[in-house]
Amino acid sequence: MSASTAGPGNVRLLTTVAAVLSGSVLLAGCFGGGDDEASQAQPGVSASQPEEVEAAATATASAEAADGPYAGLTAVQILNKARKKLDSSTSVRLKMTTKDGKKKLTFDFLMNKSGRATGRMSPGGKQSMKLIRIGKTGYFQPNAVMLNEISGGDKATIKAMSGHWVKFVKGGPSEMWDNLDITDFDYVTGDLLDLTGPESGLKRVEGKKLGGRETIGLVEENVTGKMFIAADGSGEIVGYQDSEIMAVFSDWNTPVKVTAPADPLLEKDFY
């Protein structure tokens, strides 16, 4: 399909998509207290208010000596167990939510360390898009609401794109590749265990049930974020929460089965 086929509404269409999603996909440092954030919640889990996170951070030290699989372990030892578990993991499902003004930004992706991922993201309201990543190639398919938004209502563009996937590549002419940071295993887990240990006031606190799993919490002084570790003794990371983000991790080591969509439209036709 050529640019002329889709009509004037498709001029720099993928740049428009990237702009619609901007602020929701630039995740550098989001788990480590950085300025950029994004996320999607597990059903039934809502982001807490800052005072709730602060209250968790001031939980009594009795949680440190609680019974159960981690009994007798210090917060640092639990953290080290989680580090080892993460290092040996090959894939994870990440659900996150956050807010950008009045918009609720949501993400749900299954990804692996080999650069393969599949899932869905929404910049708010009824707009959403499916995303597939296979190495350095990505594919996206907007739903009808998003397609109408990004095309400016241009009927020719809507007709040409409806029901189709659009292929884009790393280093391509559009900015769509930036949206795939959320599908990079190392990127989204890189800051999770960046806790420094006893000198930072790292301690164990009470957790909560996330995605059907009981958890224990880890917090450090002067940091509002709280990490949730599976209470079953496995050391698996189950969630992360601060005043802006709710992230839930599940389906660790589940195979990511994705194939390239047949006959996709091409990035260059929309830029």
pLDDT digits (tens, 9 = 90+) for 216-236: 999 988 777 899 999 999 999
Q: How far is CA 197 from CA 58, 71, 259, in A?
A: 17, 18, 42
Residue 62: how many CB atoms within 10 A of its CB?
10
Which CATH class name applies to 9-250?
mainly beta
Instruction: Return the domain boundaries, the chain.
Output: 9-250
Which carries the bigger pLDDT value, residue 44 or residue 144? Answer: 144
pLDDT in tens, 51-88: 443 344 334 334 444 568 999 999 989 999 999 999 99
Q: What is the pLDDT of residue 112?
A: 97
Which residues lie below 8 Å from residue 162, measured CB to CB, with a gap of 6+?
144, 147
Give the ranges where 88-198 is alpha helix by DSSP (H).
144-150, 155-161, 185-189
Q: Are 140 and 130 in contact (CB under 8 A)?
A: yes
Q: Are 204 and 63 in contact (CB under 8 A)?
A: yes
Q: What is the pLDDT of residue 224?
A: 79
93 Ramachandran zone, left/alpha/beta (phi>0; psi -120 to 50): beta
Cα of 92 vs its chain's centroid, Å: 11
Give the pairing of strands 166-169 and 265-266: parallel
Q: Hey, what are 116's tokens?
A: 């393969």
Q: Are 2 and 259 in contact (CB under 8 A)?
A: no
How far is it, in rounded angstroms, from Cα 76 to Cα 93? 25
Q: What is the pLDDT of residue 174?
A: 75
Cβ-count burial of 263 within 10 angstroms (0-12 exposed, 13-18 middle, 19+ buried)? exposed
